[in-house]
Homo-oligomer: A and B are copies of this chain.
Amino acid sequence: MSQQVYFFGEGRADGNAEMRNLLGGKGANLAEMTNLGLPVPPGFTIGTDVCTSYYDQGGDHLPEGLEEACRTAVARVEKILGHRFGDREHPLLFSVRSGARVSMPGMMDTVLNLGLNDETVEGMASATGNPRFAYDSYRRFIQMFGNVVLDVDGARFEHALDAMKAARGTTQDTDLEADDLRELIGQYKAIVREEAGRDFPQDPWQQLWDAVMAVFRSWNNDRAIHYRAMHGYADEWGTAVNVQSMVFGNMGDDCATGVAFTRDPSTGENLFYGEYLINAQGEDVVAGVRTPRPVRAQAGVDDSLEQVMPEVYAELMQVVEKLEDHYRDMLDLEFTIQNNKLWMLQVRTGKRTGVAAVRIAVEMVEEDAIDTRTAVSRVEPEQLDQLLHPMIDPKAKVQVVAEGLPASPGAVSGAIAFTAEEAVQARAEGRDVLLVRRETSPEDIAGMEAAVGILTQRGGMTSHAAVVARGMGKCCVAGCGQLQIDEAGGSLKIGDRIYTRNDHLTLNGSTGQVIEGEVPTLPPSLDDNFRKLMEWANEFRSLNVRTNADTPADSELARSFGAEGIGLCRTEHMFFGEERIAAVREMIVSRTEDQREKALAKLLPFQMEDFEGIFTAMTGLPVTVRLLDPPLHEFLPHDAAEIDRLAMELGVEKSEMHAIVESLAEFNPMLGHRGCRLGVTYPEIYSMQAEAIIRAACRVKKAGHDPRPEIMIPLVGIDNELDRMRAVVQAKAEQILAEEGVKVDYLVGTMIEIPRACVTADEIAKKADFFSFGTNDLTQMGFGFSRDDAGSFLPSYVSGGILPSDPFQSLDQNGIGKLIEMAIELGRAENAHLHLGVCGEHGGDPDSVHFFHRAGLDYVSCSPYRVPIAILAAAQAALADSASAVATA
C-alpha cells in the first residue's frame, strides 16, 4: 500500500502545493504553508486515493493500514503540541474536513472539536478556565457529529436547544449558563441514542474513524454528485480528508479570528485588506452576527487588529509578504489568534473583480513578480466584461423581483415601455425606458435602439433580443419566465406585484436580475492597465478577432476595442428604418419581378449609405457582409389592423394583403424559406445587395479609403446554391466595377451553418473564397434545438447534467465541434486558399475560442463588447498550445 497519510507540522510537511490532486486544494496549501515555516496548526491529510479505495472496497470500512498511519500521525501532533488526544487534562482536539482537488463549497461535510467526550470536556473546562466554553463546544460537537456522521435530523437538536432557551426565558444561545449546557448535552446524547440507535461514541479514536468515513461518504451525497455533474468533475477523483489540530479564536479577549486578502479584491489596489473579530470563531465573521472590524488601521477606526494586537499584526504582515512572494498572486487567507498566538488556517488564490484582476496582473508584472505570459494567462477573459459595462453599485440595497438570463451585461434603470413605438417616443422625449416584451422580433429594432435596456419573457441566451442587445452593447435580461405582460392593458405582473408605464425597474444584465426601482450604478473603466494587458495579449495570440457590427458606430466602437475587421455585418437590421421598411414591404408583396426590382431600387441608396459608413470606419480591414437571411415574413406586420394599414399604404386589397401575410407564415421558419433560398428564388434581391456593397466600396475607395468587402451567402447547404448565388453576385459586381472604373478586390464566400454543408464542405469549398461558421444555426440544426423554444427543456438539461453547458453559450465541442472539424478538413483539402472564421455568438466565448484556435481557424468574430474577451481568450489559447507543446517536447 502506498502512502495514505501526509503529515504537516513544525516546518515540515510530506506534501506541497503541487500535490492538489492527491491532497486536495486545502491539504496541499496547508502543507505548502507548513514548508514555508508559517505557523500552521499541525495535522495530516488522508489522500484522495484512500477515498477511492474506500469506495472500491464497498464503502463500509476504512482501508487496511489507515488506522495505524493515523495513529502515528496523531502521535507526531501530540509530540509537537504537548497535548494528547483523549487526555483528561489537556485534550488535543481535531477538525476533520473534506478537501477535493477543486473547490466544491458547502457540498461536503466537516466535523469540528473532535476528541471531546464526557471526560475530556472537563479537562478542557479546567485547562481553559472557561467551563461554559467547554460545554458549548461539546454540545456543538455532539450536534455536528450526530448530524453529519450518524445522520440524525438536525432539527431534533435545534428543538431541544429552543426548549432550553424558552425554559430560561431567553432567545440567545449566549444567555445559557454552563449548567444549562451540561443539561443539554445529556438531552443531545439521548437524541443520538434514539435516532441513530447507538450511543454517541465516547472513544476519541472511534470518533475519528467515524468522521473520516463520513467525509468519504459525503463525496457521494446527492448535492455533491449534482455539483460534479454540473461542473463536469469526475466521480473518480474522490476527496481528501484533513485532520488538523484545533485552535480557538473564541477563548477570550486575547483570541481572535479573521479573513483577509493580500490586495484589495474589489479594486486590485496593492493594500492588505482584511476583517477580524475578537473572541470569535471563523463562522462568526462569515455569519455577520457581529460586525467584523478592519485588520489594518485606517481613518476613523480605533479597534483595528493593527491597533489592538500590534505584535500579532506585524507577524501577520510578515506572513503575508512571505506568502505573496511565494505564490506570486493575490491570496485569500484565514487566520486565528489563540492567546495572542497567530495560526494560519487556510490560504488560496483570492477571488477578485474584473477590474482587480487586470490591475493585479499588470502591477505584478511591473513589480517583476510575474511575467507577461502569466499576467495574460491569469485574467479570466469573462471578467473583462465588467470593465466594459456599468455595474450595480455593490453597496446599494436592492429588491430583486425576478430573475432571467444574463443576456447582455451592464446595469440600467428606466420606466417601462411595452412596445417599440412607446420606446421610440420616450427616447424622443428624453426619458430612459426599458423595452419589456414577451419576445422581440426584427420589427422591434428601433425600439430596442431607443430603450436603455431590454427585458423579455421568452427566449434564451441566443434569442433575438439577446443577440441584438449584445450586438448593440445594450443591457438585456432575457427569458424571464416570471413576467406576465399585458401589453394592451399596459401592465406587467411579477408574482403579486403589478407595474405600469410609470414604474421604474433596474436590470442587471450581468446576473439576470430584475430589480424594483432605480438603483445607483458605477461607470465602466477602461484604464491603462486594461490597455497594457490587451497589448500583451496581442503579442501572444495567432487567432484574429473581428466583430459583428451592422452600423458605423458599432464598427468604430469595436475597432477601438481591438477588432481587426467585421466578421458579420447583418444587412437585415438595416431594413427596419422607417423609410426603408416601406420599400422592403413593397418588395415582399410584389407579384412580379418588375415590381420587385422597382422596390429594390428604392432600397439601394439606403444600403449603399450604410455600407459607405461601415467601409469608411473599417478602412484597411475586411468587412464581411451577409446578404439577406431572415424569412420575409419577419418584415411584415402581424396584427390585423397593421396589415390593413399596410394594404392601404401599398394600395393592395386588404384581403389580398392578409392572404400574402398568411402565405408567408411558416410552421418552422428556422427551417423555411430564408437565407440563400431567398436569393435563389429572388436573385434580384442579392443582385441589389451586391450592387450596394460594391458601389459603396468604389465610392469609399474614391474618397481615399481602403474598403475590403467580403460578400457572404448565408445558409448554404448545397454546393449548387453557392454556385448560383456566386454567379449572380459576381456578374453584378463586375458590372458595377466597370461602371465606377475603380479596382476593388472582393471575396465571395459562405456561412457554414447547415449540417449538410459541413459534410459536403469539399464540394462547397470549390466555389468559396471563405467559410464563416455560423455556430448559432449550426448548433440549432445540429442538435435539432430551436434557440427560441429550448427554454422549456435546455435549462434542465444543463442542471441535470445531460449537457455540461448551454451549447448556445459555449460550443458543443463533442458534437457540433466535430462537424466544424470535418468542414475544415474537407474544405482545406479541396481549397488550400480557403479563409476560415466563425461569426456565431460562440466567437466571444473563451472556451469556444480555445476550440477554434486548436481547430485552426483564421479568425473569430463577436459582438463589439466581447472583442477584448475574445482577444484575451485567443492569447490564452495560444499560450496553452505552446505550453502543451513544451510539455510533450
Q: Give 19 A-B pairs besides A680-B797, A755-B781 with Cβ atoms closer than 8 angstroms.
A: A666-B786, A666-B789, A667-B788, A668-B786, A670-B670, A671-B784, A671-B790, A672-B790, A673-B790, A673-B793, A680-B796, A717-B783, A718-B797, A718-B803, A720-B803, A753-B784, A755-B755, A755-B819, A781-B784
Within 8 A of B (CB), among A753-807: 753-756, 759-760, 763, 777, 780-786, 788-790, 792-793, 796-797, 800-803
* Binary contact readout A488-502 vs B (1 if CB under 8 angstroms, 0 otherwise): 000000000000000
Interface hub of A792, A812, A819 (most chain B Cβ within 10 A):
A792
* Binary contact readout A257-274 vs B (1 if CB under 8 angstroms, 0 otherwise): 000000000000000000
Q: How many copies does the complex hold?
A: 2
B720 to A802, Cβ gap below 8 A? Answer: yes
Complex Cα distance, B785 from A498, in Å, reads 43
* Binary contact readout A33-77 vs B (1 if CB under 8 angstroms, 0 otherwise): 000000000000000000000000000000000000000000000
The one of B672, B715, B782, B801 that contacts A720, using a Cβ cutoff of 8 Å:
B801
B777 to A756, Cβ gap below 8 A? Answer: no
B786 to A718, Cβ gap below 8 A? Answer: no
B803 to A782, Cβ gap below 8 A? Answer: no
B789 to A784, Cβ gap below 8 A? Answer: no
Pull 6 A–B residue pairs with CB atoms less than 8 Å apart, ordered by A.
Answer: A671-B781, A671-B790, A673-B790, A717-B782, A756-B819, A760-B815
Residues on B with beta carbons closer than 8 Å to the beta carbon of A673: 789-790, 792-793
Complex Cα distance, B784 from A672, in Å, reads 8
A784-B792 in contact given A668-B668, A802-B724 (Cβ < 8 Å): no
- A721 adjacent to chain B (CB < 8 Å): yes
Residues on B with beta carbons closer than 8 Å to the beta carbon of A103: none
The one of B756, B785, B788, B819 that contacts A783, using a Cβ cutoff of 8 Å:
B756
- A818 adjacent to chain B (CB < 8 Å): yes
A671 to B780, Cβ gap below 8 A? Answer: yes
Distance (Å) between the CB of A820 and the closest chain B CB?
A: 10
Residues on B with beta carbons closer than 8 Å to the beta carbon of A802: 680, 718, 720-721, 724
Complex Cα distance, B781 from A784, in Å, reads 6
B717 to A754, Cβ gap below 8 A? Answer: no
- A677 adjacent to chain B (CB < 8 Å): yes
Complex Cα distance, B402 from A28, in Å, reads 81
- A838 adjacent to chain B (CB < 8 Å): no
* Closest chain B residue to A803, Cβ basis: B718
Complex Cα distance, B780 from A793, in Å, reads 21
Complex Cα distance, B366 from A118, in Å, reads 105
Distance (Å) between the CB of A756 and the closest chain B CB?
A: 4
- A884 adjacent to chain B (CB < 8 Å): no
A783 to B754, Cβ gap below 8 A? Answer: yes
* Closest chain B residue to A631, Cβ basis: B789
- A92 adjacent to chain B (CB < 8 Å): no
Distance (Å) between the CB of A232 and the closest chain B CB?
A: 12
Residues on B with beta carbons closer than 8 Å to the beta carbon of A672: 786, 789-790, 792
A815 to B668, Cβ gap below 8 A? Answer: no
The one of B756, B803, B812 that contacts A812, using a Cβ cutoff of 8 Å:
B756
Complex Cα distance, B719 from A801, in Å, reads 11
B786 to A667, Cβ gap below 8 A? Answer: yes
Residues on B with beta carbons closer than 8 Å to the beta carbon of A793: 673, 677, 680-681
Question: Which 6 A/B pairs are nearest by Cβ-Cβ distance?
Answer: A671-B786, A668-B786, A755-B755, A672-B789, A756-B815, A666-B789
B667 to A667, Cβ gap below 8 A? Answer: no
* Binary contact readout A298-318 vs B (1 if CB under 8 angstroms, 0 otherwise): 000000000000000000000
Residues on B with beta carbons closer than 8 Å to the beta carbon of A592: none
- A888 adjacent to chain B (CB < 8 Å): no
Distance (Å) between the CB of A718 and the closest chain B CB?
A: 6
The one of B666, B670, B784 that contacts A754, using a Cβ cutoff of 8 Å:
B784
Distance (Å) between the CB of A666 and the closest chain B CB?
A: 4
A671 to B756, Cβ gap below 8 A? Answer: no
- A154 adjacent to chain B (CB < 8 Å): no
Complex Cα distance, B673 from A785, in Å, reads 8
* Closest chain B residue to A673, Cβ basis: B792
Complex Cα distance, B816 from A788, in Å, reads 25
- A2 adjacent to chain B (CB < 8 Å): no
Distance (Å) between the CB of A815 and the closest chain B CB?
A: 4
The one of B667, B677, B796 that contacts A681, using a Cβ cutoff of 8 Å:
B796
Within 8 A of B (CB), among A708-752: 715, 717-718, 720-721, 724
Residues on B with beta carbons closer than 8 Å to the beta carbon of A818: 759-760
Residues on B with beta carbons closer than 8 Å to the beta carbon of A724: 802
